[in-house]
Structure 1
C-alpha cells in the first residue's frame, strides 16, 4: 500500500461497494493516491459464487483471478451481509467514520438496500456517494443493465470503429480494452476528488452520478460537435495522412497530417517532389487526395522494414511507432522507466500488475496484493467502530459479518 505520509488522499476513507471493472478501477486509483479503501464484500453463502474468481478462473492464483488481482490491490476487505438489517447497521456505523461510499450498481440498487444517498446523508452529512453506471440515474435507459461492450455500442463508438473497416466487415464485438469501464472509473474517481475538495468549503457531502455513456460521448469531442451541427459531417482524420501504413515486414503508425510533419515526412522518405505537387500543397488538398497520397507513401515504405522507417522518421521529427504487442511493451524500457509494471506479493508468489498512471512528485509508490476475504473485518469492527468482542462474535455467529 502507498506510504501514507506524503500521499494526496491521506486520511480519506472510502467504502468500496463495487464489482466488475469500472468501479474497482475507480477505487483503485483512489487507493493509489493514499485513500484507505475498504472493499465491502458479501458472504459467499449470500452470493453463491466466489466474486474473486468469477471472470477468469483459468488465469488464477490461489483462488483469485487476474481480474480481481488487478483491480483490488491496495485495499482492505470486510465481509458484511448488506441484505440483513444488522448488516446495514454495521454499514451505517462505517459510514459515520467514512468520507466516500463508491458503488457501480444500476441506479436504484443502493436505495433498495437502504444505502442510497438520501439515507446515508442522514447518517453522515459529510459523506460523498459516488455512483458509476452504464446510463446514469436519469433518462429512459437508466435501468438498463450495461457492461463495457454494451456502452461502446450504445454510445456510437462501435459504429465509429466499424466505419474504419472495409465494407461488409462486421463491427468488432470488443476493441481489446474496456474503454467505457476504465474511462468511467477514472471519471468517477476524478469527480470524487473534486467533491472532497469542495467539501472543505461547504462541509457537506454530495451525490455523484457518472454514466459510462456520458463519458464516452464527452470523449468523442469534435466528432460529437461536428455530427450535431453539420448534416454532412464525416470525420476528416481517417482521410488525413496519419494512422497505420504498410511496410516491407509489417506496419508503422505515423502522423504526417500537419504542415510541419508533412514536410518532414516527405523529406525523410526522399520525396521532396511531393512538396511541389499542387495536389498536396494544403491540408485540405492532402485530405481530398488522401487515398492517392497514402498509396504513394506506402510504395516508399514497402522498400524497407518497419524498424528502419521508425529510426528514419523519428530522426526527422515525424511522430511514429511500430505496432507493438502487449508483451513487447511490458518488456520494454519505457514501461520500466515509468514503473508501469509492478510486482505484488500474492501468497508468496510475485504477480506482475499495472503500475500507477498518476505520477505526482513526493509520492513513494508501494503496491499490495488484494487481502484475503474479510481479512480486516475484525480490525475494522473492533478498532475503528469499537465493537466489543461479544458483539463481533454474535455477528459472526449469525453470518452477518465474516468470514
Structure 2
C-alpha cells in the first residue's frame, strides 16, 4: 500500500481497525479527530495503559497503529476546508459516522466526491445503508455477536443465559479486516477500470458471514443451529476424534480429526493405547464411527489421566489435527505466531519496547513492521504544512478553533 493515502473520519475500533490494517501494509493513514475531544475511545478507562503512568494503551494502539492524527473541528467551515484539502490528495475516504452526522458535517458521498471524483468512499455501518434501521448505530457485542447469531450458536441450551464475546473489539477487528479487504479490491478495480467504488460493510453482515454456514444450513432446514452441549464435549456422536477434552489439571484440548479412520491408529499410539486400533469395536472406520460414543469415552478417560503439559509434549508428533485451548496470554506467546512474525515489537512514545498483534496477511513472506499509534492530534502541524499552509495560516486556524 506504499503510496496509497487514506483519510479516516471515524472513532472507536470498528472502521479504525481497517486503517490499522492498511497502515500495517504501508498506507499513509491520516486519522481525523475532533480538535477538542478527539476519538471518543481515548476516554475509555476500563482497559487503560499497560502500566500506571504509561502512555501505551492497547485500546488505542490496536486500531490506530501506524497512523497520523490531525485534530479538526469539522463543524467549523475552516476545518472542513482543511479536510477537503486532504481529501483532494487521498485515494480513500473511510468513515463510521451515522447518516445524519455525515449529512450535517457535509461528509456524505456527494460532498466528498465533489471534492475528489476519483476517491474510494467507504462506509462502515452497524446495520447497512438500506432498510428501516439504516440510520441506527451499534457496536460489535449487540450487532456482530448477538444479532448475527454467534452468541446463540455458542451458548449451550443448559446455560442460564448467553455467552459474551471472547475478547474486546472481537467483531470490530474482524469487521476492520473485512473493510481493509474491500478497500484493496476497490483500489484494484479503480486501477483496472478507472472507476472509484463506494464500499459498504456492516457489523451485521460481517457477523452473518462469520456465522454463514450455520445460517445457510438453517435456511435449508428451517431449524436453528444448536451448540454442542456437554454430552458432545468429548467427541461428536459419529466421530470420537472431534471434540473438547479435559486434562488432569483442568485444562482443555481440541481434537479435530475429520478423517477418523485415517488417524485412529496413530492417535492410539500417542495415548499409549495401541491395542485400541486392533479392537474389534474400532478396527475399521465404519466400526469406529458406529461406536464413536464408546471410543470418545475411552479417549476422555485417557486424556483426563494426564496433565495439559504432558499432552502438549506428547501430541507434538501427532499426525492428526488438534490444538490446545489457549488463553490470551498464551496466544501472545504462541511459538507459531512469533515464528511467522504476527507478534511484532513497537516502540511507544516513551521509548519503551511494546508488542502488538499484526494484521493477519503477509506479502512476500515479509512480516509487518507496525509503528505506534499517534497521540491525540500529534501530526496536526505536520499535515497542515504538507498541505502548503504557512505559520500564519495555521495560527489563524487555531485562533478560529478549527484545528487542535
> Residue 135 of structure 2 aligns with which residue?
143
Change (3 A) 1:365 1:229: closer
Deviates more, 1:184-193 or 1:266-275: 266-275
Q: Distance in 1 between matches of 2:218 and 2:180?
A: 29
SS across alignment from 1:67: helix
- Tell me the number of residue pairs that the alignment of Structure 1 and Structure 2 aligns: 387
> Residue 221 of structure 2 aligns with which residue?
230
> Residue 52 of structure 1 aligns with which residue?
42
Report 1:285-296 matches (<5 A).
Answer: 286=289, 291-296=293-298
Change (3 A) 1:90 1:275: farther
SS across alignment from 1:387: coil
| Contact 1:261/1:317 (8 A) holds in 2 | yes
Of the three residues 369, 374, 377, the one matched with 1:374 is: 377
Change (3 A) 1:77 1:177: closer
> Residue 104 of structure 1 aligns with which residue?
96
Of the three residues 85, 100, 117, the one matched with 2:109 is: 117
SS across alignment from 2:138: coil
Structure 1 residue 108 displacement after superposition: 4.1
Of the three residues 348, 353, 366, the one matched with 2:351 is: 348
Unaligned runs of 5+ in 1: 1-8
Indicate whether 1:249 and 2:249 are aligned: yes
Q: Distance in 2 between matches of 1:325 and 1:55?
A: 23
> Residue 18 of structure 1 aligns with which residue?
10
> Residue 339 of structure 2 aligns with which residue?
337
Of the three residues 137, 143, 158, the one matched with 2:151 is: 158
Q: Distance in 1 between matches of 2:71 and 2:227?
A: 52
Change (3 A) 1:96 1:333: same
Change (3 A) 1:282 1:82: farther
Q: Distance in 2 between matches of 1:261 and 1:236?
A: 25
| Contact 2:56/2:348 (8 A) holds in 1 | no
SS across alignment from 2:348: strand
Indicate whether 1:322 and 2:314 are aligned: no
SS across alignment from 2:122: strand
What is the CA deviation profile of residues 113-163 of structure 1, one whole-angstrom value per residue up to 9, with x for unaligned ones?
A: 11111211111111111111211111233222211110210111100011x
Of the three residues 178, 181, 187, the one matched with 2:178 is: 187
Structure 1 residue 393 displacement after superposition: 1.3
Q: Distance in 1 between matches of 2:133 and 2:119?
A: 27
Report 1:4-83 matches (<5 A).
Answer: 9-44=1-36, 51-56=41-46, 58-59=48-49, 62=54, 65-83=57-75
Q: TM-score, normalised by structure 1?
A: 0.86
Structure 1 residue 364 displacement after superposition: 6.9
> Residue 164 of structure 2 aligns with which residue?
173
Change (3 A) 1:255 1:306: same
> Residue 95 of structure 1 aligns with which residue?
87
> Residue 197 of structure 1 aligns with which residue?
188
Unaligned runs of 5+ in 2: none
Structure 1 residue 292 displacement after superposition: 4.1
Q: Distance in 2 between matches of 1:279 and 1:304?
A: 25
| Contact 1:133/1:211 (8 A) holds in 2 | yes
| Contact 2:126/2:139 (8 A) holds in 1 | yes
> Residue 276 of structure 2 aligns with which residue?
272
